[in-house]
Structures are given as structure tokens and as C-alpha cells.
């Protein structure tokens, strides 16, 4: 009889695709963001890389308010009214919430041009009329008409875009910010189209809080000195903690209230005129730049309409989509995997084939199993 020999295929001999062919983890946009910003909480919170004096701002507010609630409120509640801590608490909450919203909100950053968009803009600049002339105009500007007034759009060499009206490039954050007002180191962020209302609420509520604490501390000292011994004796008879806290509150509030009140008044004027700090400093619409007949094309010629437009308009969406996924142009490519099975003993290949002993079998080609894997493409999904 013919003897047949078989060789069992080892399942472990079937190779798996190498790790480099496996799909990579999709990255979010904030991980590759080109600006000088820092992100926290998986891109939900963004601040400027140069945080400025934001920690100092928080410390001054928290320490001054804490000393007021601990040392002054109990005495004033006992001798005046219990509404004082309630009013102070409401103002304190407004200040903290508006400060955090100003610091951690996207101010209106414009996304940079992609390489294809930048190349197309460069072609338009090099050859604006489509002719074959090699002439290149020196100024990189465009002109648009807003309310029957010509406004120039400047080209940003960093972002590779023509800046929209009222947009400026912040050198500290390295971003083009829509309706750029200024970069405020006290809040550690730019102030622009999306967070200006929070900034205005912050400085107005902070001015009220500072004036309120200063008035309450002064009233506290006046009530303690009513015994006829004078203010100095009242301070000497008080504990050291009270004297120290009172002196600290008075110094901080006295030197802060004037600057904060002045800043609030200045921005109230800007809101009523629908101007930005950047435009007011440059004198874009006030005749300081040499154009005497130029008016503000963004003004509604009404204080109420300007205030509603700046502070009460709908919140524009963020254009950078920092939590969205980076689109992957390269699909995961896999090549056929060739697996050569081991040979049988005595150099006879017996994979699923019967070989008759005594008669030399024809030399078959080495068996090759080809595994073709389907292409795996990573689709980008944008999440808010």
C-alpha cells in the first residue's frame, strides 16, 4: 500500500501585520495648534503660553475678598445690616466667573491657511490679472467697501491670509484675532470678538467690588473710632490680625479702584462708539491717522445699538475647532503578506498533499499563502 505522510500547519506560523501597518491614534487639532497657546482638559480650556500676571490677579481678588468676608462682614452685619455680605458675595461671583471666561475662552482666533490655500493666494499676489507678466505689486493689501467706505485688508505673512476687517495679529499669542482689542496680561489672554463681553463684565464688576470693599472697610474703621478715642487707639486696641487685614485691604483697594474705574470708563466709551482699543490707539477712525473725513464704518450712529451689538449680540462660534480631529490624508496601506510554510522531513513538502513513497514526487513550488487585508481608512469626526 502507498504510505502517505501529512504535515499539520502550525497556526502560529500565520504572521500578523506588523505594528506600523496598524491604524494610528487620531490626533486632535489642539495637539498640533501652531499658535503660542496652552491647552488643558483635552482642549476645552485654552490660555496664552505667556500667562502674564493672571495668578497675581486671582490672588489679589481672592485674598482681598477673603479678608473682607472674615474680618469686616461680621462687624458690619452686627452694627448695620445683613445685606452687606450678600451684596459682596454676588459681586465676587460675577468677578470670578467673568475673569475665568475671559481667560479661558477663544478670543476669536482665525485658522491659518493650508499649504494649498497659501499657494493659491501667493499666485494671486504674484499675478493678480492672470497675465504672464512678472510684475509683482509691492503692497500686499486688498480693498473692500463697508458702509460706502473703503477699508484695507492687510496680508499676514505668518497666517498666510488676508486679515478680515478689524482683525490684527497678536505677537504674543502668534495668532490673528478677529475684532482684536488688545492683549491683556492681567487675564492672560487676548481680548477679541468672542470674549470682549466677558472682559467688559469683569472690569465693571471688579470696579464695583473694589469700591464696595473700600467703602465697607472705611465704614468699619469709622464705627470703631466712635468711642471718642480716635482711629489710632481703635487700631491699637484691636488684634494684630484685624489691623493687618484692614491695612492690606485699604492699600489694595485704594490703588486699584482708580485704575479700574478709569479702565471701565474708557471701555464704556469704546462700547458706546463701537470701537476697539487697537483702533482708538491707532486713530483709525478719529482723524489721528491723517484722514480727517474718515468716520467709523462699523458704528450704528446710536449708543444703544452699539452697546447691543457689542455686548448682546449672538456668540460667534469658534473657528479653530480645537477639539476636532486632524484629518488624515494617508489611509493605512497594507501590502500582501507572504508566509512560507515549513517543509516536511526528508525535504518533502507535504502540506495538504499526499505523496506516494517509492516514486519521487515532482518538485512542487514552495507553497505561499497570500493574505490580502482590506484597506483601513481613518475618517475624521469633528466633535464640539
Strands 189-191 and 182-184 come out as antiparallel
Measured in Å, how far apart are the chain's first and last C-alpha atoms? 75
Instruction: For residues 202 and 350, give the distance between their C-alpha atoms in angstroms, rounded to a whole number.
Output: 83
Given pLDDT bands bounded at 50, 70 and 90, which one contains residue 7?
low
pLDDT at 311: 92
Mean predicted confidence (pLDDT) in 187-199 = 93
Sequence-separated (6 or more) residues with CB below 8 Å from residue 84: 73, 76, 77, 216
Question: 88-102 as b/e, with b when 16 or more CB fall inside 10 Å?
Answer: beebbebbbebbbbb
What's the pTM value of the predicted model, to 2 decimals?
Answer: 0.73
Inform me whether the pLDDT recorded for 222 exceeds 50.
Answer: yes
Give yes or no: 159 in active site: no
Mean predicted confidence (pLDDT) in 294-299 = 84
Most confident region among 135-144, 319-328, 346-355 by mean pLDDT: 319-328
Query: By three-state DSSP, how is residue 305 classified?
Result: helix
DSSP H helices in 225-352 = 230-237, 240-273, 277-282, 303-311
Is the distance from CB of 80 to CB of 42 less than 8 angstroms? Answer: no
Instruction: For residues 21 and 330, give the distance between their C-alpha atoms in angstroms, rounded to a whole number.
Output: 12
Most confident region among 138-142, 154-158, 239-243, 245-249 by mean pLDDT: 154-158
User: Domain ranges in the chain?
Assistant: 33-107+190-312, 115-163
Is the distance from CB of 285 to CB of 306 less than 8 angstroms? Answer: no
The residue with greater pLDDT, 198 or 126, is 198
Range list of β-strands (E), the chain: 37-40, 45-48, 141-146, 149-156, 161-162, 168-170, 175-177, 182-184, 189-191, 337-340, 368-371
Is the distance from CB of 205 to CB of 94 less than 8 angstroms? Answer: yes
β-pair partners for 144: 151
Inform me whether the pLDDT recorded for 1 exceeds 90.
Answer: no
For CA atoms 60, 65, 66, 70, give the dihedral sign.
Answer: positive
Mean predicted confidence (pLDDT) in 262-276 = 94
Quickly count: other Cβ atoms within 10 Å of residue 169's Cβ. Answer: 18
pLDDT at 237: 59
- What is the overall mean pLDDT for the chain? 76
Inform me whether the pLDDT recorded for 198 exceeds 80.
Answer: yes
Catalytic residue (one of 73, 156, 159, 184) = 184
β-pair partners for 337: 371
pLDDT at 120: 82
Instruction: For residues 279 and 172, give the distance between their C-alpha atoms in angstroms, rounded to a whole number.
Output: 18
Instruction: For residues 330 and 23, give the distance between their C-alpha atoms in angstroms, rounded to a whole number.
Output: 10
SS3 content of the chain, % helix, strand, coil (to 5): 40, 15, 45
Considering just the CA atoms, what is the radius of gyration of the chain in Å? Answer: 35
pLDDT at 357: 44
Inform me whether the pLDDT recorded for 212 exceeds 90.
Answer: yes
Per residue, the 3-state secondary structure of 315-338, as one string, reads CCCCCCCCCCECCCCCCECCCCEE
Q: Which region among 43-52, 62-71, 362-371 has the lowest average model confidence (pLDDT)?
A: 362-371
Q: What would you measure as the largest C-alpha separation in the chain, in angstroms?
A: 131
Residue-wise pLDDT tens digits, 35-65: 888 888 877 888 877 766 888 999 999 999 9
Distances (CA, A) of 126 to 119, 129, 136, 139: 10, 9, 5, 11
Provide the percentage of residues in the chain whose pLDDT is more than 90.
Answer: 27
Instruction: For residues 100 and 117, give the distance between their C-alpha atoms in angstroms, rounded to a whole number.
Output: 35
Inform me whether the pLDDT recorded for 93 exceeds 60.
Answer: yes
pLDDT at 61: 93
Angle of helix 240-273 relative to helix 196-224, nearest 10 degrees, comes to 140
Burial tier of 343 (Cβ tally within 10 Å: 0-12, 13-18, 19+): middle
Given pLDDT bands bounded at 50, 70 and 90, which one contains residue 218?
confident
Amino acid at each position: 500500500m502507498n504510505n502517505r505522510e501529512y504535515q499539520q500547519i502550525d497556526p502560529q506560523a500565520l504572521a500578523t501585520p506588523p505594528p506600523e501597518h496598524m491604524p494610528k491614534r487620531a490626533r486632535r487639532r489642539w495637539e498640533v495648534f501652531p499658535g503660542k497657546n496652552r491647552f488643558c482638559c483635552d482642549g476645552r480650556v485654552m490660555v496664552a503660553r505667556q500667562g502674564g500676571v493672571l495668578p497675581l490677579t486671582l490672588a489679589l481678588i481672592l485674598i482681598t475678598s477673603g479678608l473682607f468676608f472674615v474680618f469686616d462682614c461680621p462687624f458690619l452685619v452686627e452694627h448695620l445690616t445683613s445685606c452687606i455680605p450678600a451684596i459682596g458675595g454676588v459681586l465676587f461671583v460675577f468677578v470670578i466667573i467673568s475673569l475665568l471666561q475671559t481667560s479661558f475662552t477663544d478670543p476669536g482666533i482665525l485658522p491659518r491657511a493650508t499649504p494649498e490655500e497659501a499657494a493659491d493666494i501667493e499666485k494671486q499676489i504674484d499675478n493678480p490679472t492672470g497675465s504672464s507678466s512678472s510684475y509683482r505689486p509691492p503692497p500686499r493689501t486688498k480693498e473692500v467697501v463697508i458702509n460706502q467706505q473703503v477699508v484695507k485688508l492687510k496680508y499676514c505673512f505668518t497666517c498666510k491670509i488676508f486679515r478680515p476687517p478689524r482683525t490684527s495679529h497678536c505677537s504674543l499669542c502668534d495668532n490673528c484675532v478677529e475684532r482684536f482689542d488688545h492683549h491683556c496680561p492681567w487675564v492672560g489672554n487676548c481680548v477679541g470678538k468672542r470674549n470682549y463681553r466677558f472682559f467688559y463684565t469683569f472690569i465693571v464688576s471688579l470696579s464695583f467690588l473694589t469700591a464696595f470693599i473700600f467703602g465697607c472697610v472705611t465704614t468699619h474703621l469709622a464705627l470703631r473710632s466712635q468711642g471718642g478715642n480716635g482711629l489710632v487707639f481703635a487700631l491699637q486696641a484691636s488684634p494684630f490680625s484685624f489691623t493687618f487685614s484692614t491695612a492690606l485691604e485699604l492699600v489694595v483697594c485704594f490703588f486699584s479702584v482708580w485704575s479700574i474705574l478709569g479702565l471701565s470708563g474708557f471701555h464704556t466709551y469704546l462700547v458706546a462708539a463701537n470701537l476697539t482699543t487697537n483702533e482708538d490707539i491707532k486713530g483709525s477712525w478719529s482723524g489721528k491717522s491723517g484722514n480727517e473725513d474718515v468716520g467709523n464704518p462699523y458704528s450704528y450712529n446710536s449708543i444703544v445699538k452699539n452697546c447691543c451689538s457689542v455686548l448682546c449680540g449672538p456668540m460667534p462660534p469658534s473657528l479653530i475647532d480645537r477639539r476636532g480631529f486632524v484629518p488624515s490624508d494617508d489611509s493605512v496601506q497594507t501590502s500582501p503578506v507572504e508566509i512560507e510554510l515549513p517543509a516536511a522531513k526528508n525535504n518533502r513538502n507535504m502540506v495538504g498533499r499526499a505523496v506516494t513513497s517509492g516514486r519521487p514526487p515532482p518538485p512542487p513550488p514552495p507553497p505561499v499563502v497570500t493574505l490580502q487585508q482590506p484597506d483601513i481608512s481613518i475618517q475624521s469626526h469633528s466633535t464640539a
